[in-house]
């Protein structure tokens, strides 16, 4: 298993440009997540998905959009990039059954994004 994979590894955007960060997992996990990590800080949840066709906002969703058309893929879309979106973006996945507590999350290698 490759686990959670993300592309691209690095990207530089100009203010106002758009891009999509790709995330794929091959562990048949139902939950997927997007986080951002600013320099010297912990991770903050942007969006998450509990299954194909279902997404919900996290702590910091403004400026981002997501979709989940398949179990494996969870792309993150940045519209009108701003310098405040300069960060490292991590995708994660987990398997959760029923309404019980969350299960162990596994993270991708991250995408380092700079907006100039």
Partner 1 sequence: GIQVEQSPPDLILQEGANSTLRCNFSDSVNNLQWFHQNPWGQLINLFYIPSGTKQNGRLSATTVATERYSLLYISSSQTTDSGVYFCAGYGPAAGNKLTFGGGTRVLVKP
Which of these ranges, 14-22, 66-74, 76-84, 102-110, lies near partner 1 under the rule CB under 8 A?
102-110
Answer for which of 50, 51, 70, 84 binds partner 1 (CB under 8 A) is: 50
SS3 of residue 4 by DSSP: strand
> Which of 59/79 has CB closer to partner 1?
59
Please report whether residue 39 would count as binding partner 1 according to CB under 8 A.
Answer: no
Q: What is the DSSP string of 61-73?
A: -TTEEE--SSSSB
Q: Do 79 and 63 touch, CB atoms closer than 8 A? A: yes
Please report whether residue 77 would count as binding partner 1 according to CB under 8 A.
Answer: no
Task: Give the Cα separation of 47 and 62 in Å (integer).
Answer: 10
Residues forming the site for partner 1 (CB under 8 A): 31, 33, 41-45, 48, 50, 56, 58-59, 88, 90, 96, 100-107, 109-110, 112
């Amino acid at each position: 298993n490759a686990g959670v994979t993300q592309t691209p590894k690095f990207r530089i955007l100009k203010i106002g440009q758009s891009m999509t960060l790709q995330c794929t997992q091959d562990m048949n996990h139902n939950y997927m997540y997007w986080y951002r990590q600013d320099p010297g800080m912990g991770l903050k949840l942007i969006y998450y998905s509990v299954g194909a066709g279902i997404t919900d906002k996290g702590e910091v969703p403004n400026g981002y959009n997501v979709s989940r058309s398949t179990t494996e893929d969870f792309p993150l879309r940045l519209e009108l990039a701003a310098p405040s979106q300069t960060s490292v973006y991590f995708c994660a996945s987990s398997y959760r059954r029923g309404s019980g507590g969350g299960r162990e999350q596994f993270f991708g290698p991250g995408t380092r994004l700079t907006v100039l």
